Structure 1
């Protein structure tokens, strides 16, 4: 089973790196870009296609020229920065049949022709050029005055053979396996395999974080080698950059309805030249042109030319066939759709389970905690969804504040920023407060964090992946994500600044994870340290791509290929690990045997009603020292505890700590009462489902105040009469 799944994933992911066969080989170019700051010739339309099967070169060029007189041209073919071919061309050579260039005249130039390629030239082109994905090749043409030999213009055309590592199959495979990990962890948790659920969920979340890191690299305003731009494009689905026709129409309507003016670059490709910023540009971006205003009237650069330069997030949107002004709304809409989809899925699963139990198709003790406390579980899932979408919405929202597509979209961006930061900040503060109280009362943060199923299901998404002593590590992770999103979203015109900042940010995270090792066990620490290391190496590569070191073209081209290879291998390894872990979680009876117990003893505090009967439950409560005192106060997880004054909180903490530390047990008493089971619990009818701990009220205080007024017999009576969880008494939840 696992072998076939792994093989399928391997084949699908490897498809990105395997050259594809084609019935007809072809090399094309659709963009002619200036490579000289004062170039006297620019193209508004440039389409060239070379078909080696019939040895023909067809071209359709429209441009503006300020050149008059006879000229000579120097042609150079560059492949991965290496000069493979140089040749001098005389436009007046009749064998070339080039109209309008002999002599050149100032004004508009239109060239539409087709001429054959000699067999000698064909023999110099290697066959791999037609099949290698994301060919990093360009033809540069320098135009010199035929008399003075002075350079007049310089243009270059980027070549493509139609093959790319940007494949929908890769995006689908990564999305499905990432989602499968989250589903498998949820199912394992519902079946009571808490250790397995924690490991699978942690790995799936880390994998998803790696996908988002790759997507964020592609959103940086850094000139990228073609293979790097295509590879990072595979993961833009994790940022909500997915083209859907009706959604694009909705985004355009919303923008116009809220006072914005949509861009129309995709619909005007026949009239304007859209340049997707790549590594092969040799002059500074400011000399090439500037990003344009949002109105159609602003579709001209500083030289009043119909040329648009796209970089960073705009480049990502254009490659996904999304209009620049629709990028933010597209990401926002997909996040909202994801929230709705997950909510409906949880509700549907709740009713499905109930229906199967009533029909006798499923045992009554399966998913009993979820069925009785599904609303609390749903809250925890919603918090997890917000955590998943946090990098996506932070980057897009910050970027929207600089773009200002419309007043309505700016309002959405501000609302999203404030809401998500406040929600995750509040949740993190709750975890820290619960852990601190647990330390004060029990000298162990894991006690309260894991002993209450309501708190665990609601807030556990923030700390289950860490060891108990590192419960706070979610705060630096959120801070890391926020700072990273700010640099990428707010500095889209400064690629070098982004690259330097990213190196420092990734280095800080790598050092922190490697030194502190905050995750739950050695395997999970290694998993996340490896991801942090790969992200740090990628940041160094992007610093080189930013041209801050003025590296030779060949060095940058080779580094682009290396970046793709090591990330493809690493992604494949991560996918296989998550796939195998998910398979074991779903298809084995006791997957917890694959994982060693946690050193923070969380397993002794986690309560799973699908695994414990009432008798064993009571015995476990006694072994943990519970039932030492009860208070009919509110739970620590109640949201209204935030309104309690600090003085009251200090008094309660002192009182709780006092009775916990100075508690003296009462003399031993017999735990067996008439009509009771040996462990003090009332007898259950055969086949009855284990009780759930959701929806219970706090028990009445026991006689004897803060001391232990009763034995297991009294504890069992309280459970029977009040339907209350013994885990919560004396553990700090009643306060």
Structure 2
């Protein structure tokens, strides 16, 4: 039987990465039923073949309801291919004399056999090193008289090597974090164009990692190599084992009325199986095995799938998964807040000590509270997929009353925060379009809006400022299917194909991102996610394909995702390195066609033809048109004094060059005072060779409302802002 493993080795020879091990071993830890109402079941099954001492040790505890003479059929499946099939007659085989005849009752076998050199030499060395060996031994027992099939059991073989490695998870996490860190540092140094590109790519990379984690969380029977590969990215869902955190989760669950599972502490008496494609039970049979809404028989046998499979492979009790993910999200938020505050005081200390120039990170130091708010919003966006999946799943599991309350509170809070932020962006952009015929004007000229809400739109071109809404909807719907539909892997797979196809079509047609490279980066990710969804649909056995097809496709899934992830990591790492270590990294990127660079405050080099107007938009210069109050909730400004508005501007971190607005009349008086407002306006500014007398007060000199200003512009000049990527395509 073991000699036939050479056929499995050939299928993975091209992609296998042999690893060094102190001792070669082939083992199995679960004996699983493969037919409905099997007459034999095992509650404990451990088999290990160790070539170093030529021994085969096994321990089996089970229950049999078979009595009388039987025949058996042994089949070896390698990546779904039937590599060996042999008929066994217990009455004519002295090694199986205990099965002739079979007796009903409990079965307890514990033995250690010596293996001959002939069998040892027939096993190829690569069988011990191929990662995630997909080999299964299946035994069917038939009645010798009626030929009816009485039982079917199968054992999955493993050599202990896997593509699931902690080093892979740490590497991907560190590189994704470096991308976000590099973008923050670059933005603080004034290179806004570079920061936007690096941040957009880092966020897209993080989204790809979360998509891979989603694939592993689906209740689809996955080939071993696919299950192991997707396990590398479960850190992005907060599924990380920490000893004291597991104790805290167990305590909290018990304190709030829950009952923790004890799978990890009862492995010596319970057979635990993580659902794989070789589990040949139909859905109805699988439901009959379900306990605690997953899979448990009455005979101490547990089958885990979907999110519980992921948690168990991370060595976590399944009832601790939600609380662990929730805690890691909260810990991440606290660490970021502490880091930002510490960086603020470190910078101030270095400047006072003369160790750092006073113009370094000046925007961050002056408006660090607003920057911190924007960072917190960005963290909520990063954690949105994680918490949506875990919260929806917790609502179906209800591990304890306290955890259900946490799930509901987190769901409502995150949806409200991101919904409010998205609505603010849309309202600000629409106001900018009304006033200046270009959404980029206010979105990028007002420092408060850019620092607080910019995480939602800087990665998109000006006209696609609203595209964050479809992205959030895509994540929410996807999370609902994965979190709420754990009982049907097929439904999840079909839904995922449709969801990923919709996003791919939308991104490919609209091309909403800031430039061609960023669009290509994200289209490639969407295409890869769509292809992965198709593979998951195949893994669900909805097409009833041969096992060899599923086995080969599992290897292909791992290969193309591993190559794609490596390329993305390399691109983000290189761009982050250029951003941090290059003196002027903005030279690597062309100016945005929506002219956002002309509007952004503290831009060091302005190369577009709208430089002067950009300075005016940013409020750089005495008597210019103000930007204070843009982020207010009300559409109209109250008649505050100039001194009050100056104090507000200083509070938000603006520099001394940022002048407050003259008081303006409320919108309610707009129509009554329209004539007076229009007569008090100065001449419009000159654009591209047109001359106009300057206003006597050095600025616009208008006290009309925003609506009157928009009407004036529409009636008296064709706005030069209606240009660039926001309107070209």
What is the TM-score when the length of structure 2 is the normalising length?
A: 0.85
Aligned-partner Cα distance in 2 for 1:272–1:265: 8
8 A Cα contact 2:191 2:603, kept in partner? no
Matched, 1:420 2:382: no
User: Residue 354 of structure 1 aligns with which residue?
Assistant: 348
Structure 2: how far apart are the matches of 1:569 and 1:545? Answer: 21
Q: Distance in 1 between matches of 2:288 and 2:314?
A: 22
Residues 667-690 of structure 1: CA deviation (Å, up to 9, x unaligned) = xxxxxxxxxxxxxxxxxxxxxxxx
Q: Report the counterpart of residue 332 of structure 1 in structure 2.
A: 326
Matches within 5 A, 1:54-453: 54-92=53-91, 95-96=94-95, 100-288=98-286, 290=288, 292-294=290-292, 300-301=296-297, 304-453=298-447
- The residue that corresponds to 1:693 in the other structure is 655
1:630/1:701 contact within 8 Å kept = no
Question: Which residue of 2 is the match for residue 538 of structure 1?
Answer: 532
Give the unaligned 5+ runs of structure 2: 1-14, 640-652, 665-676, 685-692, 702-708, 712-729
Distance change >3 Å, CA 87–CA 17, structure 1 → 2: closer
1:47 aligned residue: 46
**Cα distance in 2, alignment partners of residues 327 and 428 from structure 1:** 30
Confirm or deny: 8 A CA contact 1:25 1:51 kept in the other structure: yes
Return closer, same or farther for 1:477/1:316 CA change in 2, 3 Å cut-off.
same
Query: How many angstroms apart in 2 are the aligned matches of 1:409 and 1:578?
Result: 37
Would the aligned equivalents of 1:259 and 1:406 in 2 still touch at CA under 8 Å?
A: yes
Flag as ranges the 4+ runs of structure 1 deviating above 4 A.
92-95, 289-295, 609-612, 616-620, 622-634, 694-697, 701-705, 708-718
Deviations 1:429-451 (A, max 9, x none): 00001111111110011001001
618-627 or 483-492: bigger deviation: 618-627
| Deviation larger for 621-630 or 532-541 | 621-630
> What residue in structure 1 maps to residue 645 of structure 2?
none
Q: Is the 8 A contact 1:368 1:609 kept in 2?
A: no
1:633/1:595 CA distance change after superposition, 3 Å = closer
**Deviates most, 80-89 or 483-492:** 80-89
Aligned to 2:647: none
Match of 1:673 in 2: none
Shift of 1:705: 4.5
> CA distance change for structure 1 residues 712 and 595 in 2, over 3 Å: closer, same or farther?
farther
Q: C-alpha distance in 2, partners of 1:520/1:329? A: 37
Task: Tell me the distance in 1 between the aligned counterparts of 2:240 and 2:400.
Answer: 21
Aligned to 2:725: none
User: RMSD value over aligned CA atoms?
Assistant: 3.0
Mean Cα displacement is larger for which, 218-227 or 273-282?
273-282
Q: CA deviation at 1:306?
A: 1.4
Deviations 1:58-100, CA, capped at 9 Å, x for gaps: 110000000112323221111001111222334456752x574
Please tell me whether the aligned partners of residues 618 and 716 of structure 1 are also in contact (alpha carbons under 8 angstroms). Answer: no
The number of equivalent residue pairs is: 654
Q: What residue in structure 2 maps to residue 675 of structure 1? A: none
**Secondary structure, aligned partner of 2:99:** coil
> Which one is further off, 84-93 or 266-275?
84-93
Partner of 1:10: none
Aligned to 1:671: none
Give the equivalent residue in structure 2 for 1:552: 546
| Paired residue secondary structure (1:84) | strand
Question: Which residue in 1 is equivalent to 2:689?
Answer: none
Q: Secondary structure at the match of 1:18?
A: coil
- Give the alignment of 1:14-29 within 5 angstroms: 18-29=17-28
Give the distance between the partners of 2:188 and 2:618, measured in 1 at CA. Answer: 24
Mapped partners of 2:553, 2:475: distance in 1? 26
Helix, strand or coil for the counterpart of 1:489? helix
2:517 is matched with which residue: 512, 519, 523?
Answer: 523
Listed as ranges, the matches of 1:707-722 within 5 Å are 707=682
CA contact (8 A) 1:448 1:731 kept: no
For residue 635 of structure 1, what is the aligned residue in structure 2? 629
Q: Which stretch shifts more, 492-501 or 81-90?
A: 81-90
Structure 2 distance, partners of 1:421, 1:226, is: 35
Distance 1:115 1:307, change over 3 A: same
User: Residues 388-444 of structure 1: CA distance to partner in whole angstroms, max 9, x if unpaired?
Assistant: 000000000000000000111111111111110110000000000111111111001
How far off is 1:272 after superposition? 1.4
Deviation at 1:55, TM superposition (A): 3.1
* Contact 1:273/1:307 (<8 A) preserved: yes
- d(CA) in 2 for partners of 1:629, 1:692: 15
Flag structure 1 segments of 5+ consecutive residues without an equivalent: 1-15, 653-690, 719-729
Does the aligned pair in 2 maintain the 1:434–1:636 contact within 8 Å? yes
After superposition, the Cα gap between the structure-2 partners of 1:271 and 1:712, relative to the gap in structure 1 and judged at 3 Å, is: farther
Q: Aligned-pair distance for 1:114?
A: 1.7
Does the 8 Å CA contact 2:445/2:618 hold for their aligned counterparts?
no
Change (3 A) 1:609 1:470: closer
Return the offset for 1:629.
8.7
Residues 717, 350 of structure 1: alpha-carbon distance in 2 compared, 3 angstrom cutoff: farther
Which TM-score applies when normalising by structure 1? 0.84
- After superposition, the C-alpha distances for 1:299-351 in whole angstroms (9 at most, x for unaligned) are 952xx321111110010001001111110001000000000010000000000
* Contact 1:26–1:49, Cα closer than 8 Å, also in 2: yes
Check whether the contact 1:629–1:706 (CA below 8 A) recurs between aligned residues: no
Distance in 1, Cα, partners of 2:177 & 2:222: 29
- Kept in 1: contact 2:138–2:153 (CA 8 A): yes
Structure-2 separation of matches of 1:456 and 1:534: 31
Partner of 2:462: 468
Shift of 1:712: 9.4
Deviation at 1:573, TM superposition (A): 0.2
| Post-superposition offset of 1:609 | 6.6
Post-superposition shift, 1:631?
8.4
Q: Deviations over 1:156-175 (max 9, x none)?
A: 00110000000000000000
